[in-house]
Amino acid sequence: MRKFTLSLLSTALIGFGFAAQAAELVMVEEPGCAWCAKWESELGDIYPKTSEGKYAPLRKVELRDLKRSDGPDTLGVVPARPVVFTPTFLLVEDGKEIARLQGYPGEDFFWGILEQMLVENTDYVTPTVDQEGS
């Protein structure tokens, strides 16, 4: 009965346009991280408005929480290898890391690297100028 109810709920949510997000960008940060703060000040407000941000919404997690023995299970993020540096951006699908950007290379390089990660590892298609204006 429970499986049937969950199946109905899933079908209803998909039917109303609430399908589960295929990918997300997980930003691993820690207090006092200057590069995390720089990313936040340069891109924090912009990211969710971009095509990349809409395709792979951002979720932030603390490095210490990820490093706890139950961290990956609790946070629903399974890194392919340990995260050492902050910020580290994990492209995640179904809770598993599929690509990674260690550090923040600055605004100009971040977008190109992120786009490459998305194109190479997901079904993301780079929008044309016409699509962005719509």
Looking at residue 52, what is its pLDDT? Answer: 97
Confidence of residue 112 (pLDDT cuts 50, 70, 90): very high
> According to the model, what pLDDT value does residue 21 have?
53
Is the torsion defined by CA of 131, 89, 43, 115 positive or negative? negative
Tokens 């962005």, located at residue = 132
**Lowest mean pLDDT across 16-20, 45-49, 95-99:** 16-20
Confidence at residue 73, expressed as pLDDT on a 0 to 100 scale: 86
Q: How confident is the model at residue 55 (pLDDT cuts 50, 70, 90)?
A: very high
pLDDT for the residue 18: 39
Average pLDDT over residues 79-104: 96
Which residue carries 């995260």 as its tokens? 83
Provide the CATH topology of domain 20-133: Glutaredoxin (3.40.30)
Global confidence as pTM: 0.80
Strand order in the sheet with 58-62: 58-62, 24-29, 88-93, 96-102
What is the rounded distance in angstroms from the CA atom of residue 5 to the CA atom of residue 40?
41
SS3 of the chain: the string is CHHHHHHHHHHHHHHCCCCCCCCEEEEEECCCCHHHHHHHHHHCCCHHHCHHHHHCCEEEEEHHHHHCCCHHHHHCCECCCCCCCCCEEEEEECCEEEEEEECCCCHHHHHHHHHHHHHHHCCCCCCCHHHHHC
Whole-number pLDDT of residue 10: 39
